[in-house]
Chains A and B, each alone.
Chain A
Amino acid sequence: MEHIRTPKVEQVKLLDRFSNKSVTGTLHLTATHLIFVESNSASAQEIWILHHHIASVEKLSLTTSGCPLLIQCRNFRLVHFVIPRERDCHDIYSSLLRLLRPVSYDELYAFSYNPKQNDQQREEGWQLIDLAAEFERMGVPCDQWQMTDVNREYKVCKTYPRDLYVPITASKPIIVGSSKFRSKGRFPVLTYFYQEKKAAVCRCSQPLSGFSARCLEDEHMLQAISKANHNSRYIYVMDTRPKLNALANRAAGKGYENEDNYSNIRFQFVGIENIHVMRGSLQKLLEVVGTRSLSMPDYLVGLENSGWLRHIKAIMDAAIFLAKAVTVEGASVLVHCSDGWDRTAQVCALGSLLMDPNYRTIKGFMVLIEKDWISFGHKFADRCDQLYIDPKEVSPIFTQFLECVWQLTEQFPQAFEFSEWFLIQIHEHIHSCQFGNFLGNNQRQREDLQLKERTYSLWAHLLNEKQLYLNPLYSPSFAESHPVLEPSTQAYHFKFWRNMYHQYDRSMHPRQSILKQVLTLKESNRELEATVQALKTKLQKFGVSTSPLKPKTPPTERSLPPRPRSLILGAPLLSRKEVQQEEDEEVFGEEALEDPPASTGGERTVEGSSATENGYGDLPGSFGPKNEPTVVTLEFGVARMTC
């Protein structure tokens, strides 16, 4: 609070990024948000920007109308304010500069954020995802794989989780020996087990082989992984780096596995570029698409020159290679890059997603992120710049993963339970620091920070709002007929993800959404069905036979559920809880309420606890007592600005 010198500035102009339009309003600066409220009451839009989302603030040179302030956000929002008085502008500017660079974890929003839940609810939120149960689902431990407690105290590898799964035959000395031969001690461990063929996906970091060093324990370790799979005589070792990078690492005493030293391995480079290249590529991409009155040729040439889609394809290619090796050849695969927490995470996670329909559901996708990204130590704090430590460590690695998944949803519209808004919402929160999940760089650090005691879990929040993220075309039978996705990697399938990189540029989006419409229809279908069911039960109570009547009598006449005015493209905000409840009461009296049809009952809980819905009604006028900032990011971020 002490950093805020001017909490409120009036008559601020907000310029549209791509046109000459502007709106006037009031700018508020709070401890956590920068808020712009349009003064025109008819269309009063509010923009809430979390300080953690701000990547940079720039004060441009003074103009006749005032002092321009350019704010760039990590969720690709760009706002351009013009503040009438230079002094105010400077105050806001310097406050923001301080606020957007928190110096310690304690300053992060997650530690002050309170969604009004009690401790038990918070605990339940953290227990939603259970990785041990996930490994059990895969069929581990089994006769070939076991859990090891070697890293219980984070002594062998500081960046790995406590519980790790290794082959039965890998003894402790082998593990410890192998870890000494691997960069950052990240020795080969199991991340996904393909039960059908008993093939394993393992991950590690690069070996410290230099030009000629070898390590018997590490060789044993790979041997053990190979032996654990009887289906295949060999294992693949995927080095996800370009060969040149791996060669260069040899000079620094690191490098890659020498096929002569390891028996029965098939070594493969797949050529995904490093974090610095990816950072530069995204920067170029954003520069191009941020250009005003961009011409079509400049857009396409810029897209090509940024190389972004090329990198996306490289990751996808690697994941497909992995999935094929496991599902078709039944071979186990060991994946690594340099440290084994960026490219390795991308490839392992995406590969598992291709192989296992479970990861294509909402809950499953959370598990996947929790497993391959959070627990195995993707450095979220550094990559997402949570504490503003080293700009060279920042890189959109996780964003790329989300984009790969999006590209898949485009190719397989029926394969995923979630829509792109789920991905975008997750992306919002890797930067928001509003929930504890993505804070810090690894599990050990998270335990030190006592995140589970002091912060809330994003997954619980997202599950509460599940309705918003559903893909109405999802078909579980598609998963049965296509357990393994085989995406095409032809160049024309890789498209620019407009809704991600232009989420807040409303002029660019379709004005109507198929997704939203179909979701509404589906929802209404379900309600009608429920009404029929309820009427049936009621009839039965009166002893009337329902069979001849059921198809003929339509349920009581009702208009279509009112569609909320929200413009979120993907998901309708379900504000019809009250409507329905009232009606239930009218039509069925108390009996119906006592014994509600299962589907409605379950769904109502979800709706009822959805904070979004409650927060929506008082949107236009009252911004003061905004007690649900959780909602705000979604509401004012996605909902108000998208369309």
Chain B
Amino acid sequence: MELSEHIKTANVEDVTLRRPFHPALRGTLCVTSHHLLFSDRKDEDSWQLLILLRNIDATEKSVENLFGYPRAVGSSGTITIKCKDLLVLQLEIPGMEECLNIASSIEALSALESVTEMYPFFHRPSHLTLHGPWGLSSTEKYYKQTERLWDRWRVSTVNSDYSVCPSYPHAVIVPREVDDEKLVQSARFRQGGRFPVLSYCHHRNGMVIMRSSQPLTGANRKRCKEDELLLQAVIDGSVLGYIIDLRSTQQAQQARMTGGGFESKSCYSHWKRIHRHHERGKVLQESLIKLVEACSDPSHSVDRWLSKLENSKWLSHVHSALSTAGLVVECVERDGHSVLVHGSEGTDSTLVVSSLAQLILHPASRTLTGFLGLLERDWIQAGHPFQQRCAHSAYSHARLKQECPSFLLLLDCVWQVWRQFPLALEFSEALLLRLAQEVYASNYGTFLCNNEQERCAAGVKENTHCLFQSLLSPDIEEQYLNPLYEPTDLAIWPSVHPQSLQLWTGLFLRWTEYAQNMEEAREEVWSIVKKHRERAGPDRTNNTPSTHCDTLTPFENLMDELTIL
């Protein structure tokens, strides 16, 4: 079925658009295969609103005069559009039939299943050409950049045809002494074939963060020699490594009943296992839904708001993600041990924790390029199933399937880190907001599909543009930069006291009046910084001494309440 067949009414005149905190506008509404376009059709300064249909999470329609005469004068309908970026719009459409047609087109076209029908495959901006280099980072590049790895680690292409692990990229980093045959065996012993691979190597002491899925020990405590050897090779000479299991002890025990399990002390004698409970999947999605609901009801009293905020548990999830990431950092940086992180599937909270830990540890991943590269390696190539997880956002009434805002949780945690270290990240809140939007609906192919294998099959690289590259293009890069950036070499441990964490107002209250004041304040900061750069001369700005390093002495910089030993 052609996309255009879904469109019964393409154009309606005299539509009234209502947005929060803006006066109502009258204009023309158009529906195309991928967009909803509203224009007030004024000759000068005409104002347009272009919404990707993919961005629409839910629509509600109410039609007056349903049983009256069709096309009677005054019959009209209202469509409420709730977007995945949390914007809510209202359209008043004259003519009942038109209204129903438009609503059904939106519903059909916003829920396209086939990847190749999605807009990124049609987005052809004039300034970009296809077939250029795609993406910023890859396993091979990371290996090449990280000299510390060359000695003991190698790039394995055992998964080049995606048969060993369908959700891994074609190349992964593993210990040099473990051959591909052993990897295949280990993969059979891990859920979804996600055998332990290297995610990060600490620049200071060579300790590594590995990630995987749970071992399939099952009820009768199966073992896998190769898996044990693989982990033994990871810690090599040192005495101890930590396995951070992102499930409670009880959950891990229960997982054995369904064929999963955990690394037992007797089989992995040099590894110490720590359990930290993390919510995933449906629970996390419901948490987001509750939070957004609480944020969108302005009539709450303070008490009700606080109780709803608590009830959503979102901040608790932020809290546990940050504390576990802090725990990983503590193991790697302070105690000098390697860490293996996994939950059950190793595609969600595992990635949140491992990438947050890198952000805290590694100065390079706090730059704009570095952060995007990190996301590319640790989320996109590592096989976070974006298409399943981000099919719907907080407003959708559809029955939940695989949706889960793990990526949003990561962005929130990064925002919390930025709040506490406002000078340490090169990118700004605007970047996080942009990513939060792009992950649900995008002109670019970056977040399409669930893993590299699917992306290859769909020809994503050949037929779409790369978001990350476009974010780095010089003309738009600046808006995603942090004007106050001062690189620091140290680990940036965030405080995880509940008093230190806050609701991410920039995202969850994005469409309120409040956002505007904040925007003006941000502009003021930029103008002060620019003035300074102008006055101080260009050579000064390039090597601004990192004056804040003194506030970040390692002594003060330790996280306080994490104790593992």
**Chain B proximity of A316: nearest CB distance (Å):** 10
Is residue B243 within 8 Å, beta carbon to beta carbon, of the partner chain? no
Known: A510-B420, A517-B423. A300 touches B309 (CB 8 A): yes
* Residues on the A chain within 8 Å of B521, using CB: 413-414, 473
B498 x A560 contact (CB < 8 A) = no
Known: A304-B306, A491-B301, A517-B423. A524 touches B532 (CB 8 A): yes
- Bitwise, B435-455 to A at CB < 8 A (1) or not (0) is 000000000000000000000
* Residues on the B chain within 8 Å of A297, using CB: 310, 313, 316
Is residue B205 within 8 Å, beta carbon to beta carbon, of the partner chain? no
Instruction: Identify which of A294, A412, A494 contacts B497 (C-beta below 8 A).
Output: A294
B528 x A508 contact (CB < 8 A) = no
Query: Bound state CA distance, A439 and B46, in angstroms?
Result: 62
A304 x B307 contact (CB < 8 A) = yes
A512 x B499 contact (CB < 8 A) = no
- Bitwise, B532-559 to A at CB < 8 A (1) or not (0) is 1001110010001101101110011100
A525 x B421 contact (CB < 8 A) = no
**Chain B proximity of A185: nearest CB distance (Å):** 36
Is residue A120 within 8 Å, beta carbon to beta carbon, of the partner chain? no
Which residue among B306, B502, B514, B536 has the maximum number of chain A CB atoms within 10 Å of its CB?
A: B306
B422 x A528 contact (CB < 8 A) = no
- Bitwise, A488-513 to B at CB < 8 A (1) or not (0) is 10111111101000100011111111
Is residue B505 within 8 Å, beta carbon to beta carbon, of the partner chain? yes
Query: Bound state CA distance, A513 and B486, in angstroms?
Result: 12
- Bitwise, A286-309 to B at CB < 8 A (1) or not (0) is 000100011111111101100101
Closest to A490 in B: B298
Instruction: Identify which of B306, B316, B552, B557 contacts A309 (C-beta below 8 A).
Output: B306
B500 x A522 contact (CB < 8 A) = no
* Residues on the B chain within 8 Å of A473, using CB: 521, 524-525
A43 x B555 contact (CB < 8 A) = yes
Is residue A622 within 8 Å, beta carbon to beta carbon, of the partner chain? no
Is residue A27 within 8 Å, beta carbon to beta carbon, of the partner chain? no
Query: Bound state CA distance, A511 and B419, in angstroms?
Result: 9
* Residues on the A chain within 8 Å of B171, using CB: none
Query: Bound state CA distance, A495 and B304, in angstroms?
Result: 14
B560 x A16 contact (CB < 8 A) = yes
Known: A559-B545, A560-B544. A522 touches B306 (CB 8 A): no
Is residue A529 within 8 Å, beta carbon to beta carbon, of the partner chain? yes
Q: Which of A389-448 contact B (CB under 8 A)?
A: 411-414
**Chain A proximity of B413: nearest CB distance (Å):** 13
**Size class of B's contact patch?**
35 or more
Is residue B233 within 8 Å, beta carbon to beta carbon, of the partner chain? no
* Residues on the A chain within 8 Å of B499, using CB: 289, 294, 299, 496, 498, 502, 508
* Residues on the B chain within 8 Å of A277, using CB: none
B531 x A296 contact (CB < 8 A) = no
* Residues on the A chain within 8 Å of B563, using CB: 20
Closest to B320 in A: A296
* Residues on the B chain within 8 Å of A300, using CB: 306-307, 309-310, 315, 498
Q: Which of B279-335 contact A (CB under 8 A)?
A: 295, 298, 300-307, 309-310, 313, 315-316, 319
B424 x A522 contact (CB < 8 A) = no
Closest to A491 in B: B305
* Residues on the A chain within 8 Å of B3, using CB: none
Query: Bound state CA distance, A473 and B524, in angstroms?
Result: 6
Known: A296-B315, A492-B505, A498-B500. A414 touches B517 (CB 8 A): yes
Is residue B37 within 8 Å, beta carbon to beta carbon, of the partner chain? no
* Residues on the B chain within 8 Å of A412, using CB: 517
Q: Which of A289-336 contact B (CB under 8 A)?
A: 289, 293-301, 303-304, 307, 309-310, 312-313
**Chain B proximity of A207: nearest CB distance (Å):** 31
Query: Bound state CA distance, A411 and B525, in angstroms?
Result: 16
**Chain B proximity of A481: nearest CB distance (Å):** 10
Is residue B513 within 8 Å, beta carbon to beta carbon, of the partner chain? yes
Closest to B306 in A: A304
Is residue B157 within 8 Å, beta carbon to beta carbon, of the partner chain? no
B535 x A529 contact (CB < 8 A) = yes
* Residues on the A chain within 8 Å of B484, using CB: 514, 517-518
Known: A18-B561, A473-B525, A525-B532. A511 touches B500 (CB 8 A): no
B544 x A21 contact (CB < 8 A) = no
B298 x A525 contact (CB < 8 A) = no
Instruction: Identify which of B498, B505, B547 contacts A563 (C-beta below 8 A).
Output: B547
Query: Bound state CA distance, A308 and B492, in angstroms?
Result: 32
B528 x A294 contact (CB < 8 A) = no
* Residues on the B chain within 8 Å of A560, using CB: 536, 540, 544-545, 547
Closest to B304 in A: A491
A512 x B423 contact (CB < 8 A) = yes
* Residues on the A chain within 8 Å of B509, using CB: 492
Is residue A255 within 8 Å, beta carbon to beta carbon, of the partner chain? no
Is residue B529 within 8 Å, beta carbon to beta carbon, of the partner chain? yes
Is residue B501 within 8 Å, beta carbon to beta carbon, of the partner chain? yes
* Residues on the B chain within 8 Å of A507, using CB: 495, 497, 560-561
B532 x A411 contact (CB < 8 A) = no
Query: Bound state CA distance, A310 and B301, in angstroms?
Result: 8
B498 x A294 contact (CB < 8 A) = yes
Query: Bound state CA distance, A473 and B527, in angstroms?
Result: 10
Query: Bound state CA distance, A532 and B552, in angstroms?
Result: 34
B497 x A472 contact (CB < 8 A) = no
Instruction: Identify which of B319, B419, B529 contacts A510 (C-beta below 8 A).
Output: B419
Which residue among A16, A293, A303, A567 has the maximum number of chain B CB atoms within 10 Å of its CB?
A: A303
Is residue A521 within 8 Å, beta carbon to beta carbon, of the partner chain? yes
Query: Bound state CA distance, A293 and B304, in angstroms?
Result: 25
Instruction: Identify which of B319, B517, B560 contacts A19 (C-beta below 8 A).
Output: B560
Closest to B308 in A: A491
Query: Bound state CA distance, A490 and B304, in angstroms?
Result: 11
Known: A310-B301, A411-B514, A521-B532. A510 touches B422 (CB 8 A): yes
B498 x A310 contact (CB < 8 A) = no
**Chain A proximity of B48: nearest CB distance (Å):** 27
Instruction: Identify which of B295, B424, B505, B525 contacts A512 (C-beta below 8 A).
Output: B424
**Chain A proximity of B327: nearest CB distance (Å):** 14
Is residue B518 within 8 Å, beta carbon to beta carbon, of the partner chain? yes
* Residues on the A chain within 8 Å of B520, using CB: 413-414, 478
A511 x B497 contact (CB < 8 A) = no
Query: Bound state CA distance, A303 and B497, in angstroms?
Result: 14
Query: Bound state CA distance, A21 and B521, in angstroms?
Result: 38
* Residues on the A chain within 8 Å of B535, using CB: 525, 528-529, 532, 554
**Chain A proximity of B120: nearest CB distance (Å):** 35
Is residue B512 within 8 Å, beta carbon to beta carbon, of the partner chain? yes
A494 x B420 contact (CB < 8 A) = no
Q: Which of B485-499 contact A (CB under 8 A)?
A: 486, 492, 495, 497-499
Which residue among B420, B498, B503 has the maximum number of chain A CB atoms within 10 Å of its CB?
A: B498
* Residues on the B chain within 8 Å of A294, using CB: 497-499
20 A-B residue pairs with Cβ-Cβ distance under 8 Å, sorted by A, are A16-B560, A18-B497, A295-B498, A297-B310, A301-B307, A304-B307, A307-B303, A310-B301, A478-B520, A491-B305, A494-B302, A496-B499, A498-B499, A512-B423, A517-B422, A518-B528, A521-B532, A529-B535, A560-B545, A563-B547
Known: A309-B302, A411-B514, A502-B499; 15 extra A-B contacts, CB below 8 A, are A19-B560, A293-B561, A294-B499, A295-B319, A300-B306, A309-B306, A478-B520, A488-B513, A498-B500, A507-B560, A509-B495, A518-B528, A521-B532, A528-B535, A562-B547
Q: Residues of B with Cβ closer than 8 Å to A? A: 295, 298, 300-307, 309-310, 313, 315-316, 319, 419-424, 484, 486, 492, 495, 497-503, 505, 509, 512-514, 517-518, 520-521, 524-525, 528-529, 531-532, 535-537, 540, 544-545, 547-548, 550-552, 555-557, 560-561, 563
